[in-house]
């Protein structure tokens, strides 16, 4: 098999991108490569939230776990994302109710809430220094979405007994986000945000403490399925009773049955110079994270050192833009024109994975091979929960895993060959709609 170009086309081998997250990392790890032959109970491919959570929860259950990452722990989307810990699945709960039967919708909601609680539990239990802060704002860029926000809050308050979210009218919203470009929306104090790379490294240290062996710079070239399965790298191989694909947008051709349902897309973030506490609170009054109602969503928050971290823009080719800072700065200035003269200190990109339905793709690829991916931008909580569910499934209790497996995730039209151009056309349309 040829090397996975997604792992190499935009980044230097074994190095984190030049992000604000990498510049402010706490407790960096330097782990060895896999060398020679090893034997384990479970081989985990991918050192992001899914794989790390799976390694930790399997280690707690007494399994011998080996985790392989092609570069560094948290190198992929898990160490580059917006850090938002959201409520529910990627689609809103009313949308999910229209897609599946009531029992499945409720079960998926419960699982998402358990995943969100798990993030906070792991942070507290393992003393992970990731600066978790409560509060998530959803801001409507068009007035016509306000009525839906009101109905959505009522649904969660009344049907799901979720009282941590409320409707925010336009006047309050403009105060909360410090600009006149938004209408109403919601404030969810049960959601929040964190430093994702520090969170990933904290999960890694916890997994190691529970006996997991983690290897960096150990790119998997192929997997021979069987009993045992054999996982190959350039330097060695693993014999394992079970295999977990936790690669998300970087799976490439390693497992084509994932690639039919999960598509990699790129997204980008910039970090400004430190703005000071007064200016930061003018931008986001309550220090919550923000996402808006655009299909190609803008998402932003202030960092612990009062930088504006602003994410936006998607691309569907493999290469990142040459000028990421300029690419994202344009979107930021549409929201905050007052930051026109603010220096941009960092700009980076990352590759996440989406599905056609925006719901996660969980699958068995044989009696001893599992995968979880396709979080569609909501992976901080959902991927953490996925790792716990993978551990449960391997341990013989797949109840929660099977709930997510039942969610509709149709394959991309035309399979892998046509998914990218077709989705690019669709996203172009949605981008135009965002501006109407």
Q: List Cα–Cα distances, 373 to 5, 19, 114, 187, in angstroms.
A: 19, 24, 18, 28
5-81+197-263+357-427 CATH: 3.50.50.60
Q: Is the pLDDT of residue 324 over 60?
A: yes
Report residue 415 CA to chain centroid gap. Answer: 23
Rounded mean pLDDT, 43-64: 98
Nearest to 258 by CA among 361, 164, 334: 361
Task: Please say if the pLDDT value at position 144 is more than 60.
Answer: yes
Residue 87 CA to residue 117 CA, distance in Å, equals: 10
The pLDDT confidence band at residue 430, using thresholds 50, 70 and 90, is very low
Of 408, 391, 291, nearest to 62 by C-alpha is 391
Closest C-alpha among 250, 255, 265, 254 to residue 419: 265
How large is the average pLDDT for residues 59-68? Answer: 98
Looking up tokens 């979080």, which residue turns up? 375
pLDDT at residue 314 in the model: 74
20-37 tens-digit pLDDT: 999 999 989 999 999 999
Q: Are 234 and 221 in contact (CB under 8 A)?
A: yes
Closest CA to 384 of 19, 55, 45: 55
Question: What average pLDDT does the segment 361-368 reach?
Answer: 96
Q: What's the distance, Cα to Cα, between the start and end of the chain in Å? A: 45
Domain ranges of the chain: 5-81+197-263+357-427, 131-195+265-353
Mean pLDDT for the stretch of residues 323-350: 97
Q: Provide mean pLDDT across the span 288-299.
A: 94
Task: Answer whether 372's CB lies under 8 Å from 246's CB.
Answer: yes
The answer to whether residue 349 scores a pLDDT higher than 80 is yes
Q: Is residue 291 scored above 60 in pLDDT?
A: yes
Q: Is the pLDDT of residue 201 over 90?
A: yes
pLDDT score recorded for residue 362: 98
Would you tell me how many other CB atoms lie within 10 Å of the CB of residue 139?
Answer: 28
Closest to 425 in 3D by CA, of 413, 435, 410: 413
Three-point CA angle 153, 158, 162, nearest 5°: 65
Does residue 358 come out as left (phi exceeding 0), alpha (psi in the -120 to 50 range) or beta?
left
pLDDT at residue number 163: 98
Average pLDDT rounded to a whole number, residues 359-371? 97
Would you say how long the chain is, in residues? 436
Where does 131-195+265-353 sit in CATH, by number? 3.30.9.10
Taking only the tens place, the pLDDT of each residue in 111-134 is 999 999 999 999 999 999 999 999
| Phi and psi torsions of 251, nearest 5° | -70, -30
Question: What pTM does this model have?
Answer: 0.95
Q: Would you tell me how many other CB atoms lie within 10 Å of the CB of residue 282?
A: 16
- Mapped onto helix, strand or coil, the DSSP state of residue 398 is coil
Span 382-418, pLDDT tens digits: 999 999 999 999 999 999 999 999 999 999 886 655 5
């Amino acid at each position: 098999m040829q090397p996975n170009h997604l792992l190499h086309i935009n980044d230097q081998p074994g190095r984190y991108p030049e992000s604000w997250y990498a510049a402010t990392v706490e407790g960096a790890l330097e782990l060895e490569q896999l060398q020679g032959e090893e034997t384990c109970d479970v081989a985990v491919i991918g050192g992001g939230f899914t794989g790390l959570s799976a390694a930790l929860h399997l280690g707690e259950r007494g399994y011998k776990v080996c985790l392989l990452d092609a570069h560094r722990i948290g190198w992929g989307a898990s160490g580059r994302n917006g850090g938002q810990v959201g409520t529910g699945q990627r689609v809103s709960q009313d949308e999910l109710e229209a897609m599946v039967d009531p029992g499945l919708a409720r079960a998926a909601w419960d699982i998402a809430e358990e995943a969100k609680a798990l993030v906070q539990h792991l942070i507290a239990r393992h003393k992970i220094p990731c600066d978790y802060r409560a509060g998530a704002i959803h801001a409507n860029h068009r007035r016509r979405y306000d009525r839906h926000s009101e109905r959505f809050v009522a649904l969660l308050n009344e049907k799901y007994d979720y009282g941590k979210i409320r409707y925010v009218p336009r006047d309050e919203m403009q105060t909360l986000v410090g600009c006149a470009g938004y209408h109403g929306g919601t404030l969810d104090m049960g959601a929040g945000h964190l430093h994702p790379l520090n969170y990933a490294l904290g999960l890694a240290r916890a997994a190691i403490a529970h006996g997991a062996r983690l290897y960096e710079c150990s790119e998997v070239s192929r997997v021979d399925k069987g009993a045992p399965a054999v996982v190959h790298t350039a330097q060695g191989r693993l014999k394992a009773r079970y295999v977990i694909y936790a690669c998300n947008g970087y799976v490439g051709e390693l497992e084509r049955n994932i690639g039919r349902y999960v598509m990699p897309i790129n997204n980008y973030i910039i970090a400004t110079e430190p703005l000071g506490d007064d200016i930061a609170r003018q931008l986001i009054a309550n220090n919550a994270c923000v996402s808006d109602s655009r299909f190609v969503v803008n998402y932003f928050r202030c960092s612990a050192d009062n930088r504006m971290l602003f994410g936006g823009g998607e691309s569907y080719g493999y290469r990142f833009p040459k000028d990421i800072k300029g690419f994202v700065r344009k979107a930021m200035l549409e929201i905050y024109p007052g930051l026109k003269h603010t220096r941009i200190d960092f700009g980076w990109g990352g590759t996440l994975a989406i599905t056609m339905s925006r719901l996660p793709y969980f699958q068995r690829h044989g009696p001893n091979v599992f995968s979880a991916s396709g979080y569609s931008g909501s992976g901080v909580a959902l991927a953490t929960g996925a790792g716990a569910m993978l551990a449960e499934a391997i341990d013989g209790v797949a109840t929660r895993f099977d709930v997510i497996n039942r969610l509709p995730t149709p394959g991309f039209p035309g399979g892998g060959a046509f998914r990218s151009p077709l989705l690019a056309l669709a996203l172009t349309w949605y981008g135009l709609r965002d501006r109407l």
